Amino acid sequence: MSSRAVTAALSPEPVRIPDGLAALRSAAQAADLGPLPEWDLSDLYSGIDAPAFRDDLERAETEARAFTERYAGRVAEIAAGPDASVELGRAVAAFEAIEDLMGRLMSFAGLVYSGDTTDETRAKFYGDTRERLTAASGDLLFFGLELNRVEDSVMDRAMAAGPLAQYRPWIEDLRAEKPYQLDDRTEKLFLEKSVTSNAAWDRLFNETIASLRFSVQGEQLTLEPTLNKLQDRDGAVRQEAALALGDTLRANLRVFALITNTLAKDKEISDRWRGFKDVADARHLSNRVEPEVVAAMVEAVRAAYPRLSHRYYRLKAKWFGVEALPYWDRNAPLPKVEQRTIPWAEARDTVLDAYNAFSPDMAGIARRFFDGGWIDAPTRPGKAPGAFAHPTVPSAHPYVLVNYQGKPRDVMTLAHELGHGVHQVLAAPNGALMAPTPLTLAETASVFGEMLTFRKLLAETTDPTQRRAMLAAKVEDMINTVVRQIAFYSFERKVHLARAKGELTVDEINALWMSVQAESLGPAITLDKGYEPFWAYIPHFIHSPFYVYAYAFGDCLVNSLYGVYARAEPGFVERYFALLSAGGSKPYGELLKPFGLDASDPGFWQIGLGMIEGMIAELEAMEG
């Protein structure tokens, strides 16, 4: 089984798409937004034809082969030798350096590709780079496998002191995968075949989504501006956009169903060979989280559906003067509330001011993203949808992609992704092997950044109508982050469990989708056949199976963390920075202890859910 660092470098960055928060800008919108930054990737490489990229790719391949020649078949012997800590420490350091180099190459190729997934030159560059780095990763694969074959007592002795001791967290994480690893030839086959199996289907999904066009108001729009129409002030426009989404997705469902069926079967084969018992066990292992903790969170959220989403949408339907909202009005702006376009410069200052009020150091890190050309903000045809923060590698720096068009929620998205970016910068000193953060904590800084920004804006708002609109928007974001993502997780489980019994038809997948949506959204949202195909555009189902529960985990965790912060406990900022700076070097349970939090406690999840419930109660009280 390849290391987490290699796997991360060769996998697409999960994309955050919170219900259509980006749009293709018209000329008028562009003028309102002001100049939007595009990222400068030259800190990685100057271009796809750069000699430095070609040379580094060849160097990565050469160093991977040399590493194999030097260490393959010798790890157990070195571990048992008198200088085990020194020699193995030197080997791990060399392995880490190659991983950093490979990660730099793959990150650049992925970022270039995300700029326009419909461009054949970029797609070929991305595909060719991935193929060559996958082959190089195959040369390195033996190292983790041989480390895991060393007896525990021997490895513990080698890690006790000396140079190898600093890598103990990475080695212990690696050894957690030991029960599921296969023989060397099978592992190499799995890795090499990934290029023509799951990676190929990922790419087909990306390029299919990017090529779709939706007919709205006489225009042929891409996915992003169509999703954005669901937030239009005109209900007729929202309806037209929703129906266009349904029509175009429905016309392509055979392709999306084939992708879904194939990837679910591919995962089932891998899980079966490795010995995973549950469809989500591999994800839980990679997240370093106990399955029972995830199960407790899922059950707590599902039990709270009536108190959260059902209750809120009933209130929102009342604001709209109806018994139930059509599904295209679920995220509609509130009636009789003025909306304005927020220029990019104002969004930047809003987030930086909120971060600065918490910690000037945090704001300083975030400001580097604006000053250094680390953000790509405009929406372009073919550009990856949604938003993400890509960590790249510790020897470089992260990059942020957003599709900014001046909505209040876009400001929150910017705050979210910059939170990821700050986290990635702070974790980078841990090195390529231990900087990556498990998903249990990966959404902590992002959601915390959103909360800081929201609380600052709310505190500055005195107009009752605007305050209600802000609270409602935050509740909707939290419902989308907690309730909706757990519904997504439930949908994925149903799909993967059903696929194990045979291929699923379009109608069967649609039915599974509608069942979880009806349960989670409640009777105040009307779902009809137009909504059936909406599962097809969610990228997490394709790129990162079962990733979605991390959003709910992060939101509930941050609600609890923010409660500690709000009590003005001394030393909170320092403890928070220590949590982020740990990266993947410590388990999440250990990192939460200084805050008095324990995710294994069944009552833990009620703290976060209670904050959402309290906001809904505040909205209800505003009704008099």
For 61-112, give the secondary structure using H, E and C: HHHHHHHHHHHCCCHHHHHHCCCHHHHHHHHHHHHHHHHHHHHHHHHHHHHH
For 150-197, where are the alpha helices, taking DSSP H only? 152-159, 168-176, 184-193
The residues, ordered by sequence, that sit 6+ positions from 220 with a Cβ below 8 Å of its Cβ are 213, 214
Place of tokens 């086959």: 189
pLDDT at residue 314 greater than cutoff 70: yes
- Point out which residues pair with 16 in neighbouring strands: 387
From the list 170, 311, 208, 332, the residue with the least C-alpha distance to 616 is: 311
- The mean pLDDT value for 233-252 works out to 96
Mean pLDDT of the region 368-380:
96
What does the alpha-carbon distance between residue 299 and residue 303 come to, in Å, rounded to a whole number? Answer: 6
CA-to-CA separations, 388 to 12, 375, 406, in angstroms, rounded: 11, 10, 17
Least Cα distance to 422 among 378, 463, 389 occurs for 389
Across 156-170, average pLDDT: 94
Residues 6+ away with beta carbon under 8 Å from 354: 415, 449, 452, 453, 455, 456, 457
Distance CA 449, CA 154 (A): 44
**Tell me, what's the pLDDT at 407?**
83
- Cα–Cα distance measured from residue 531 to residue 514, given in angstroms and rounded to the nearest whole number: 8
Question: What are the C-alpha distances in Å from 350 to residues 16, 367, 446, 458, 551?
Answer: 21, 12, 15, 12, 23
pLDDT value for 134? 93
Residue-level pLDDT at 19: 45
Residues 6+ apart with CB under 8 A from 361: 577
Q: Is the pLDDT of residue 25 over 80?
A: no
pLDDT for position 4 = 38
Question: What is the CATH architecture assignment of 51-181?
Answer: Up-down Bundle (1.20)
pLDDT tens per residue, range 475-497: 999 999 999 999 999 999 999 99
Span 405-426, average pLDDT = 93
Q: What's the length of the chain?
A: 624
The pLDDT score that the predictor gives to residue 479 is: 95
Question: Does 602 score more than 80 pLDDT?
Answer: no
Nearest by Cα to 96 from 170, 11, 154: 170
C-alpha distances in angstroms, 570 versus 223, 561, 574, 581, 594?
A: 46, 14, 9, 19, 12
Tell me: pLDDT of 7 over 90: no
Whether 388 contacts 16, CB under 8 Å: yes
Q: How much is the pLDDT for 443?
A: 86
Domain boundaries, the chain: 51-181
Compute the mean pLDDT over every residue in the chain, rounded to the nearest whole number: 91
In this predicted structure, the answer to whether residue 442 has a pLDDT above a threshold of 90 is: no
**pLDDT reading at 363 higher than 60:** yes
Look at residues 454, 498, 241, 472 and name the one whose alpha carbon lies nearest to residue 355: 454
- What pLDDT does residue 506 have? 98
pLDDT value for 339: 76
- Give Cα 583 to chain centroid, integer Å: 16
pLDDT for the residue 389:
96
Confidence of residue 26 (pLDDT cuts 50, 70, 90): very low
Average pLDDT over residues 306-329: 96
pTM value? 0.85
CA distance 144 to 155: 13
Q: How far is Cα 93 from Cα 431, in angstroms, rounded to an integer?
A: 10
Per-residue pLDDT tens digits for 50-88: 999 999 999 999 999 999 999 999 999 999 999 999 999
**Share above pLDDT 70 across residues of the chain, in percent, rounded to a whole number:** 95
Measured between alpha carbons, how far apart are the two ends of the chain, in Å? 59
Give the phi and the psi of residue 472 in degrees, each rounded to 5: -65, -45
